[in-house]
Amino acid sequence: MLNRVATVAVAICAAIPLLVAGAPKKDAPAELNLTDMDGKRVHLKDYRGKIVVLNFWATWCGPCKEEMPMFVATEKEWAAKGIVFIGASLDERAGQKVIPEFVKKFQIDFPIWKGATADDLGRLGMGEAVPATAFLDEQGMIFARVQGEIKKEELTERLKWITGDRKDPAPNPLLRNL
């Protein structure tokens, strides 16, 4: 019996490091490093201290074209309240030449970054398709995600909550509009 207890104790002690290593880690701020329209490296961490709406899109994406005018209008309304909008294009290198035309057509005034990939989407928990939108708090933590085309009321609900007193329950942290 003593051998059996000793064997169980050794097994438990041996498993503790594995349990700790496999334990969920504390969430870390979102990170994304891309290139702006001038070819300069840009970093999401440089926006810490600000609330950020990060929209992943592509010039060839129909739903992205549908929601972009709403983002442009909403950015004009919320920029005065300190909200930063960033558009991250998933256009591959060959397709990036049409991004300036897209920006001009939709009169986008907020920063547009290029070079985003499906790996970036996956790493940030955004799903596998565009459009996808992440909402980041002042610490750079993603507090909400919308996979697929976002609706105006969904965008506004998240912006009102994050700029308010945050006493009411947070909006649904993950919407799938696919």
Q: Which two tokens stand for residue 158?
A: 């998240």
- Within 10 angstroms of residue 37's Cβ, the number of other Cβ atoms is 15
- Say if residues 112 and 100 touch (Cβ distance below 8 Å): no
Candidates 32, 42, 64, 126; catalytic one: 64
114-141 in b/e form (b: 16+ CB < 10 A) is bbbeeebbeebebbebbbbbbbbbeebe
Candidates 61, 108, 136, 146; catalytic one: 61
Q: Which neighbouring-strand residues pair with 163? A: none
Annotated active-site residue 61? The verdict is yes
Annotated active-site residue 64? The verdict is yes
**Active-site residues: which are they?**
61, 64
